[in-house]
Chains A and B, each alone.
Chain A
Amino acid sequence: MLKIWSMKQQQQQAENAEGAAGKKKKKVTAAQLRVQRDLQELTLGETMKMSFPNPDDILNFTLTIEPDEGMYKGGVFNFSFTVNQNFPHDPPKVKCTQKIYHPNIDLEGNVCLNILREDWKPVLNLNAVIVGMQFLFLEPNASDPLNKEAADDLRLNRDAFKRNVRTSMAGGSVRNVSFERVLR
């Protein structure tokens, strides 16, 4: 044991660091630090906004996307982000807080985006996720859907799909499922 401490002292001398600390306080966690950095490096553009219910808690926030082109133009979509202390080793958990008609988002708000699950890597950051989310509204993907009916519509009859998107965004029903009004 004593030997370990003398190693520490040697290391310290080599680094010639300053002297010691006072009373210990809680440390900023690795997850917080990483989110602080990720937030600072975001590029949000005109179509996205973030809000923080508790500004001191940067691990929980809402992202609002307002697509200015594509089939979902004119809608306002809210996603809750929950980042756990294992971030960036675990991906953030993202859910759509509204009931919307979208091939890659189910009626419970689950989002199918590869980097939120099977392709997540710690080197990815929040910006990558946000870009991916934005892309979902520009290019809904019919190939690997969560909402199979919406995907089938998109694949088989693009015009009908577009109409359904408009109807659902206005708060109407598609195939007997009623959706939330999300128009600006």
Chain B
Amino acid sequence: MAPSPAALSGPTSKERKYDRQLRLWAATGQQALEDARVLLVNSDGPLGSSSTGVTGVAGVEALKNLVLPGIGGFTIVDPAIVTEADLGVNFFLEEASLGKSRADETCRLLRELNPDVQGYSYSKSITELLGDAEFLPRHKLVIISGPTKRSTLETLCETAQKLEIPVLYIHSVGFCATFSLQLPSEFPIVETHPDPESTQDLRLLHPWPELANAVASLGNLESMDDHQHGHVPYLLLLLRFLEQWKQSHEGNMPSNYKEKTEFREFVRSNARTENAEGGEENFDEAIAAVVKTISPFSLRSSIREIFEMPQCHQLTTTSADFWIIASAIRTFYNTHNVLPLPGSLPDMKAKSADYVALQNVYKKKARHDVEEVTATIRQLESDLGRTTLILDREVEVFCKNAAHIKVVRGRAIPQISNNSDAALLKAVRSGLQMPESLASLFIACQILDAVVDEIQSNPALHDGRSVDDDGLWIAHRDRILTSLTLGDPAAIDESALEGIDDAIQEVRRAEGGELHNIASLAGGLVAQESLKVLTRQYVPLDNTCVFDGARSRSEMYRF
């Protein structure tokens, strides 16, 4: 046999290098990564007399995990100079780096990881760089290593928010790591990659004419020989028995658990057992599928919410493609009371030709649905006067994933202060109510932020004070707790307070320093969330994650 040209050349060297990740996010995800440049703001001045500043290892480790899969580029902003202590915790520095710019040195050693990735470094403060209005818009994502001055953090987050650039704010202190993700106020995701088991949509209760024909053309099951009988795809078996059930149940389908159980027994009673195997696999499959597949289509509330969002109704010439397609799919739903058919068919016992024929019935219907949605889209585009048409491929992917799309409503990086949003404070307080809550570590990091902010904002006043200054910690603990409880100490119970004090002790133990393991772990998590944000695939954190290395566990919070 003559090998085809594709096989002779095999995959390209890039496909081979990225093989293990392309299997997760495919060429489209990879392209999105390659189009992205990530900004790491890795320190913003010293933390106090005993420290030269944030070591920024979590941020550098996160970049490592982004450079390896091949983002387009990265920028490191870090005014710090490499010290001896950096070498004990940061792998992307070496002996020769001592005394040099940490931004330049980490950038240089990170670039070695992947020649496809561009790296830039700035040995100055971010405040200075933000003076150039074109600086931030070059980036698709900002990662900030905390603790940092509140004023810097706020300016950065606000500017990024206006530009709709996502921000990740990280703390990695001793055995504790926490980070929050700020997404634009609306962040739609089409390819959420749900569990394939949960995405099956077979429409057994409302077969369309071609599917109903496929059942009808089966003929009489009883007259089949054992071989044929044992190879009828279970889907058609279920459809046939549902028809029979309907006839004997006043036109109703099995709707509750009891009826489904009865229906299952009805299916079972039709299996042949007088054969060599003592049963039939296709019937076994049918019986196992009853509970999962025999339920009417219902629109998930999260999709209904998306349909009801104003962006889906008030389309403009500049609406994002997502909303144009969503609106067309809403029209489809309003007409048919179902979403476009995804069109995939699970594997099942069947003869090859029968399976392929059935698969084609599903594929054809899916294609038909896509065409209908596309027609609506083209009409909308023409009504709105849009000249750049949405790609067919995009519509197809959207239709396939329609039941699982998601719109994350981005929230600001949470900060506890006396002008914090009441809803945020409530969320943190309720997070603290859980036994052994890790929200306490989030609070300890908030106090650390406040301590550092005070030292950095008034260098003259706090000259000589360390980041572990007792007085500052006591003062800011009280201040944060007062803000959190809105002045009502009873709002937090005794065990939550104990938890907070334990967390403070564990965080203070490190005096603002990082442990490599925890920084590396945090860098892994932050990179993972960055990949999701940049590829717009999978479901990103909403919005805060806390990892407790002392007790080896993590929690997610919506603050």
Contacts and interface: CB of A to CB of B under 8 A. Distances in A.
Interface of A: 139-143, 155
Nearest to B231: A143
Output the residue of A141, A142, A143, A155 with the most chain B CB within 10 A. A143
B227 A139 contact: no
A155 B276 contact: no
Interface string B200-237: 00000000000000000000000001110011000000
B197 interface: no
Nearest to A136: B276
Interface residues of B, number: 8
B277 A141 contact: yes
Contacts of B225: 155
Contacts of A143: 226-227, 230-231, 275-277
Contacts of B230: 143
B227 A155 contact: yes
B383 to A, nearest CB: 54
Interface of B: 225-227, 230-231, 275-277
Secondary structure call for the A interface: loop
Contacts of A140: 276
Contacts of A139: 276
A142 B227 CA distance: 8
Contacts of B227: 142-143, 155
A155 B275 CA distance: 13
A141 B225 CA distance: 14
A138 to B, nearest CB: 9
14 contacts: A139-B276, A140-B276, A141-B276, A141-B277, A142-B227, A143-B226, A143-B227, A143-B230, A143-B231, A143-B275, A143-B276, A143-B277, A155-B225, A155-B227
Nearest to A142: B227
A155 B276 CA distance: 12
Nearest to A152: B227
Nearest to A138: B276
A140 B226 CA distance: 14
A143 B276 CA distance: 9
Given A139-B276, A141-B277, A143-B275, 11 more contacts: A140-B276, A141-B276, A142-B227, A143-B226, A143-B227, A143-B230, A143-B231, A143-B276, A143-B277, A155-B225, A155-B227
A169 B259 CA distance: 53
Residue from B226, B230, B276 whose CB has the most chain A CB atoms within 10 Å: B276
A132 to B, nearest CB: 11
A135 to B, nearest CB: 8
A35 B227 CA distance: 37
Contacts of B277: 141, 143
Contacts of B276: 139-141, 143
A161 to B, nearest CB: 14
A155 B277 CA distance: 15
B274 to A, nearest CB: 12
B227 to A, nearest CB: 5
A152 to B, nearest CB: 10
Nearest to B225: A155
Contacts of B275: 143
Contacts of A142: 227
B124 to A, nearest CB: 46
A83 B533 CA distance: 47
A141 B231 CA distance: 14
B172 to A, nearest CB: 26
Contacts of A155: 225, 227
A143 B281 CA distance: 11
